[in-house]
Structure 1
Amino acid sequence: MAGRRLTVVLDPHRWLELRRFRPLYESGAMSLREISKETGLNRRTVSKYLKDPSSAAPPKREAAGQRYRRVVDEVAPLIDAMLRSEVLLKASVIHERLVQDYAVSINYQRVKLYLQEARPRIAEELGIGPAELAGLHRRFEVVPGAQAQVDWGDEGKILAHVGISKVYSFHMTLSYSRDPFCCFTTGQDLATFFDCHRLAFAHFGGVPMSIVYDRTKTVVRRHVAPGEAVPLHPEAVAFAGHYDFDVDVLAAYRPQGKGRVERQVGIVRDHVLAGRAFSSIEEINAAFAAWVPLRRAKVHGTHGEVIGHRAVRDHTALRPLPTTPYLVAQRHLRHVGKDCLVAFDANLYSVPARKIRPRQLVEVRATKSQVTLHSTIADRDGQTMLAVHPRAVGRGARIVDETHWDGLPTGAGRRVTTGDDLPSPRRGQPLRAADGPLQALLNRAAAAHVEVSRRPLSVYDELTGTRPFTTNAPTKEAH
């Protein structure tokens, strides 16, 4: 028996654990030495069985009766205590606290691997079901044309240098193919939101059967408790009815339900915006349109097909567009000012003075490009429209139709003069001395030549019966 080595097969648990390190080794996240130290196996044994997956299970250590101890076992009670206080705590947070609060030097991947078996165990101890654990959600697949997902992105001040303070990106992604659409706007109001929908439908060539939203105020009228029916915005209901799709609103705090468009927001930001400078919204939209063919030529990592090929089936299954578009309008009630101006969205719009009164309540209907002002009571002809204006861009603008002020005082009858060119009482005749001193007083230049009589003050004393004041009057001496 001398010179021969007895090979004993490991128990399945340790062999499966060794196999779990293969992705870490192949990606370079852990070295053979670290894996050997973690598993308690010889470095050569780890190298042999990680490099050759078809090999049999590795042999046991010579001290077969001893249980190997991992590095993470030293801090396992500490990690378990953190999980008992918050079972949904992320691995990155636990690793950060181990390093900062407890000065533990440990590889992040070891903490992550330990949590894979520790989290379900601690959850079971706490009586928490598997479906309630963080990060767990049901993956779903859809048929072509069945669903699209919508989301907003905040792109910040990428156009601040041209006077546009904020830029937003609207995203719609077809769930079956992951075919993307994106357009950039300066606002997230109701009219802009659904105008972006129309652009997306034109981009795809049709309408999906349902669209998934989060609880944005342009879709949901108000928030409700979990489990209650979500009240939809009236304009969202009307828009969906016109284009014949179903509105699907996610539960609160469940972004996983629209993860396909959530991922698309970051992809567009990285491939279209990153490292570039733009001077207008149109230029950014053109950059996205130029990038779309590149995206469609990619093989998607989830469904494993070329996005463009799969998008053809998606587009074919979409519902056709209606013959007439539905124009969504914001509707608000506003008071008319004494200057015949109505304030809306930090801008002022005029209404006809002859058709309104001060502080009258009017209805503002605003689309993306137009603002119409309506009376709340129809006139004799059944009409309510008062004025139509182009929608102002930005804030602080005054959109005024000068004819709306017809009939109001213009101030044309007010006059002032310096007195040098006072017109004569009779047109075409110069001022004469015979016109009298009163007329001369009206002329500032002639006032200096008016004769004024002069009398001594004693005359006024005699008229009033008072004794004139004199400085020669006797005074009482002080003792």
Structure 2
Amino acid sequence: MFTVEEFLMIRDLHHQGLNISQISRETGYHRNTVRKYLAAQTVPIPASRRTRPSKLDPYKAYIQQRIRDYPLSAARIYREIQEMGFNGKYTIVKDYIREIRPPTRVPAVFRYETEPGVQAQVDWGECGHLDVDGRRRKLYCFSMILGYSRMRYAVFTLSTDTSTLIQCHLNAFEYFGGYTEEILYDNIKTVVLKRALRAGDHQWNPKFEDFFSHHGFIPRLCKPYCPQTKGKIENTIGYVKRDFLLGGTFSSLDDMNRQLLQWCNRVNAEPHGTTHEIPVERLQQENLKPLIGIPPYRLRQEEHRKISREAYISYLGNRYSVPYRFAGREAILEIQRDQMTVRVGTEIICSHTIVPGHARIIREKEHFSGLLAEVMRCNAQSETASRPLFRMVGPEVEHRPLSVYEGFSGEVQL
């Protein structure tokens, strides 16, 4: 669009004696453009263009509503409207969301980079609450990311204790196919009991020390008040919340983790925003320590439960039977991968394979063998020994001598 200054410049050059071709060479405008502006008395106003319909128009109301409800990413919105039938490009979705989303200010940080196979980072994140076994439980997300390839692994848990932390490590190692020389952590009690000035003087959590000594990796602690050293994993926790958890729909904890694993597979197969390379392809360069040749680490996780009067214990929303004679007793569940052993005192009373899902009942017939006969015997004994609540008695009759009744007859004895 021409400005007033450009319009006046063309007319001034013409008044100086330059012809249209000379003005065109001098200003760089086409001869037709010069001719049009010389013939005009005022700066021409371009006609307004009609707005072309966009493929995004049918989805704008949905996008606006989703952005109002949750601060979802453009990539997340793009996937959702693709499932609704949108066949346009990601760019127009991103540009539109940039227009309607309020701008946010992001502070600058310094990023620490690592060489292949050197370091991974681990963190926990709180992700709301979940109702399990009739109780409101905190939901946590464990996440591990490989520093070089940016391969991610995440899983939801109901605890952050040391046993759970170790099991999450084992799951991540299996997912990656190995582990790095060192792993970076926050200063949490499940990892370190007391931090010292020198790394060699740290007092490690004994259970966790046994684990990292078994595998031979080196635990590193994040510098206090310096979260930038764990920036990669902090971003991963936030990414899980924004791109996966936010606005999601799930039926159980198992369903959440099944969908989360699919999400990990997808993001690991897409170019990373920092490296602009695909993590699963860079994984080939990580040179991880292999799991082959290392004896399996035997981890036992303990949970305390009270056996119900119906002879069941509850775990992760499902009910498992135990021998009926232990009804009402306190029990300890020993969890090892998908196997559960139930112990009362020092006696192991039964074992189960942990099943996925929610509100399922796992009943072993032999756990109730003899229960019916015992109930009937108890009922019979109860009837024999029972006492009535009350008793009926007849009216009390007074006994008198016959002489009393003879007196009433009026007869006189001589």
TM-score (norm 1): 0.45
Amino acid at match of 1:267: Y
- Say which SS state the counterpart of residue 411 (structure 1) adopts: helix
Instruction: Decide whether the 8 Å contact of 1:184 with 1:285 is kept in 2.
Output: no
Tell me how far apart the structure 1 counterparts of residues 306 and 395 of structure 2 sit (CA, whole Å): 63
Distance in 2 of aligned mates of 1:345 and 1:288 = 19
Question: What is the alpha-carbon distance in structure 2 between the residues aligned to residue 336 and residue 285 of structure 1?
Answer: 29
Q: Which runs of 5+ in 2 are unaligned?
A: 1-103, 402-414
The corresponding residue for 2:9 is none
Once the two structures are superposed, residues 149-198 of structure 1 have per-residue CA deviations (whole angstroms, 9 ceiling, x without a partner) of 111122214789x9985432221100112221112233334443322222
Separation in 2 of the partners of 1:158 and 1:335?
21
**Which residue of structure 2 lines up, in the alignment, with residue 411 of structure 1?**
378
Q: Which residue in the other structure is 2:289 paired with?
A: 319
Residue 296 (structure 2) pairs with residue 329 (structure 1):
no
**Is the contact made by 2:194 and 2:204 (CA closer than 8 Å) also made in structure 1?**
no
1:224 is displaced (CA, Å) by: 5.1
SS in 2 for 1:267: helix
Q: Deviations over 1:71-92 (max 9, x none)?
A: xxxxxxxxxxxxxxxxxxxxxx
Q: Given the alignment of the two structures, is residue 182 of structure 1 paired with residue 154 of structure 2, yes or no? A: yes
Instruction: State the Cα deviation string for residues 48-72 of structure 1 (Å, max 9, x = none).
Output: xxxxxxxxxxxxxxxxxxxxxxxxx
**CA deviation after TM superposition for structure 1 residue 148, in Å:** 0.8
Q: Which amino acid aligns with 2:300?
A: A
Cα pair distance change 1:309/1:322, threshold 3 Å: closer
Number of equivalent positions: 284
CA pair 252-391 structure 1, distance change in 2 beyond 3 A: farther
1:219 deviates by 2.4
Q: Which of 117, 122, 143 is the equivalent residue of 1:145? A: 117
Percentage of matched positions with identical amino acids: 25
Task: Give the distance between the partners of 1:458 and 1:203, measured in 2 at CA.
Answer: 103
State the match for 1:285 in structure 2.
Answer: 258
1 CA distance for matches of 2:118 and 2:370?
51
Aligned residue number for residue 276 of structure 1: 248
Which amino acid in structure 2 is aligned with residue 411 of structure 1? C
| CA contact 1:342–1:348 (8 Å) conserved in 2 | yes
Mapping 1:381-400, distance limit 5 Å: 385-389=348-352
Task: Work out the CA distance in 2 between the residues paired with 1:304 and 1:144.
Answer: 16
Runs of 4+ that moved beyond 6 A:
332-337, 339-349, 391-395, 397-400, 403-410
* CA 1:391–1:252: 2 relative to 1, 3 Å: farther
2:236 corresponds to 1:264: yes
1:340/1:350 contact within 8 Å kept: yes
Q: Does 1:456 align with 2:398?
A: yes
- Structure-1 separation of matches of 2:363 and 2:136: 20
Query: Partner residue of 1:86?
Result: none
* Partner Cα separation in structure 1 for residue 125 and residue 260 of structure 2: 16
Which one of the candidate residues 210, 215, 218 is aligned to 2:190? 218
Q: Which moved more, 1:362-371 or 1:320-329?
A: 362-371
2:270 is matched with which residue?
A: 297
Q: Whose RCO is larger (CA < 8 A, sep 6+)?
A: 2
RMSD (Å) for aligned C-alpha atoms: 5.5
> In structure 2, what is the Cα distance between the partners aligned to 1:155 and 1:284?
13
Q: Give the superposition deviation at 1:218.
A: 2.9
Query: Distance between the aligned counterparts of 1:166 and 1:243, measured in 2?
Result: 30
Q: Aligned in 2, Cα 1:453/1:286: closer, same or farther, shift over 3 Å?
A: closer
Q: Which one of the candidate residues 232, 237, 248 is aligned to 2:220? A: 248
In the aligned structure 1, how far is the partner of 2:380 from the partner of 2:369?
Answer: 20
Q: Residue deviations 1:369-392, cap 9 Å, x none?
A: 444356887xxxxxx745435669
Please tell me the residue identity of whatever aligns with 2:270. A
SS in 1 for 2:250: coil
Alignment of 1:64-463 (within 5 A): 140-157=112-129, 166-220=138-192, 222-223=193-194, 229-280=201-252, 281-283=254-256, 285-290=258-263, 292-301=265-274, 303=275, 305-314=277-286, 317-322=287-292, 325-330=296-301, 365-367=334-336, 369-372=338-341, 385-389=348-352, 401-402=367-368, 411-416=378-383, 455-456=397-398
Question: Distance between the aligned counterparts of 1:344 and 1:279, measured in 2?
Answer: 16
* Structure 1: stretches of 5+ with no match in the other structure: 1-107, 113-134, 378-383, 420-441, 460-479
Distance 1:225 1:404 in 2: 60
**CA apart distance, 1:262:** 0.7
User: 1:144 offset after TM fit, Å?
Assistant: 0.9
Distance 1:458 1:178 in 2: 112
> 2:142 is aligned with what amino acid?
F
> Which structure is larger by alpha-carbon Rg, 1 or 2?
1
Cα distance in 1, alignment partners of residues 301 and 154 from structure 2: 23
Confirm or deny: 8 A CA contact 2:311 2:322 kept in the other structure: yes
Q: Is the contact made by 2:145 and 2:151 (CA closer than 8 Å) also made in structure 1?
A: yes
